[in-house]
Amino acid sequence: MCGEKTWKESQDMIKITPSIVIQDQEISETFVCASGPGGQNVNKVATAVQLRFDVQRSPGLPAAVKLRLRQQNAGQMTEGGVLLLRAQRFRSQLQNRQDARQRLASLIRRAARPLKRRKKTRPTIASRERRLEGKRHRSRIKQGRKTLPEGN
């Protein structure tokens, strides 16, 4: 009853940032049956969306963004560099389709942000002293738990 079907409506492109645009042809969507509660609707209607986006072959993504996207989403990538997203939160096919596209855009936006360089810092003298005092205090507590020899 519930078979797969694909969506072929042209939206032209998805604008991620001012410099990154994903063409609609780069995204493949397949509609499948959703899992979970929903009664007969789940068994009869293919509302879940399985979105595929080939990160490696996308001309709209810079090389650095492709690399970060692969690193950040390794669990959702195939060996060939295709990003897989499944959206089944809503009962409507259109809402699930929009949800999958929004999630794709947010993943790419997060990968497009350059990583901040960590500034090396050193602990202050006061913080080192507090740490050592805490260790001495803990040591005294543990010393107090020891049993004394019976010879006295």
As a whole number of angstroms, the longest Cα–Cα distance in the chain is: 92
pLDDT tens-place string over residues 83-135: 899 988 888 889 999 999 999 989 988 988 888 898 999 999 999 999 999 99
Of the candidates 53, 43, 12, 33, the residue with the CA atom closest to the CA atom of residue 96: 33
Task: Report the CATH number that the domain containing residue 47 is assigned in CATH.
Answer: 3.30.160.20
Gap between the terminal Cα atoms of the chain: 87
Q: Which domain holds residue 91?
A: 5-112
Residue 121 within a domain:
no
Judge whether 117 lies within some domain.
no
Question: Residue 145 domain-assigned?
Answer: no
From CA 34, how far away is CA 90, in angstroms rounded? 9
Q: What is the pLDDT of residue 90?
A: 87
Q: Is residue 28 part of a domain?
A: yes
Place of tokens 């929009």: 98
The answer to whether residue 25 is domain-embedded is yes
Asked if pLDDT for residue 9 goes beyond 60, the answer is no
Residue 42 has pLDDT above 90, yes or no: no
**Does residue 53 lie within any of the structural domains?**
yes
Tens digit of pLDDT for each residue in 50-82?
999 988 888 888 888 888 888 888 888 888 888
User: Are 28 and 52 a contacting pair, CB within 8 Å?
Assistant: yes
Q: Please check whether residue 30 is in contact with residue 20, taking contact to mean a CB–CB distance below 8 angstroms.
A: no
For 7-120, list the strands marked E by DSSP: 13-15, 21-23, 27-32, 48-54, 82-87
Q: What is the pLDDT of residue 152?
A: 56
Q: How many domains does the chain have?
A: 1
| Apex 94 CA angle, 76 and 24, nearest 5 | 60
Residue 20 included in any domain: yes
Q: Within a domain: residue 133?
A: no
* Chain-centre distance for alpha carbon 55: 15
